[in-house]
Amino acid sequence: MTTTVADVMSKSLLTLDEQTTLTEAAAAMTARHVGSALVLRDERLAGIITERDVLRAVATGDVTSTVGTWMTPNPETVDADESAQQAAVVMIHGGFRHLPVLVGGAPVGIVSIRDLMRVAIQDVSPRGV
């Protein structure tokens, strides 16, 4: 049986709007222990903001901007019924670690490289266990 994106994705989404400040976004991601948030415009996916984006902003001295300034607009996405392997291929070739999951064009989840690694190593025990 093929593992699908729906099998491994996180359904507990952190969503923000484009006017959210970077400071608010960083605080929300920290509080939720996540490395990214989906940016919505009228309930539709407009972009994704990641901890890397926040770090790039801070590195330039910009700590007062909004999410809309630093997000990746119109990010790559994957459908919930696609295979976990296909999601991994998209992420590796795109060079990113978080991938929004859509059903009928609406965001329903997010899959991370960590989620996909859990599938790849599910039968392996940590060292010494």
Q: For residue 63, is it within any domain?
A: yes
Residue bearing tokens 């309930």: 43
Instruction: State pLDDT tens for residues 15-48.
Output: 999 999 999 999 999 999 999 999 999 989 999 9
| Model confidence at 123: pLDDT above 60 | no
Give the range of the structural domain holding residue 97, as residue numbers without chain letter: 5-120
Task: Report the CATH number that the domain containing residue 36 is assigned in CATH.
Answer: 3.10.580.10
* pTM above threshold 0.75: yes
Q: For residue 84, is it within any domain?
A: yes
DSSP for 44-103, written as a single string: EEEEEEEHHHHHHHHHTT--S-BHHHHSEES---EETTSBHHHHHHHHHHHT-SEEEEEE
Q: For residue 22, is it within any domain?
A: yes
Count how many domains the chain has.
1
Q: For residue 27, is it within any domain?
A: yes
Q: For residue 127, is it within any domain?
A: no
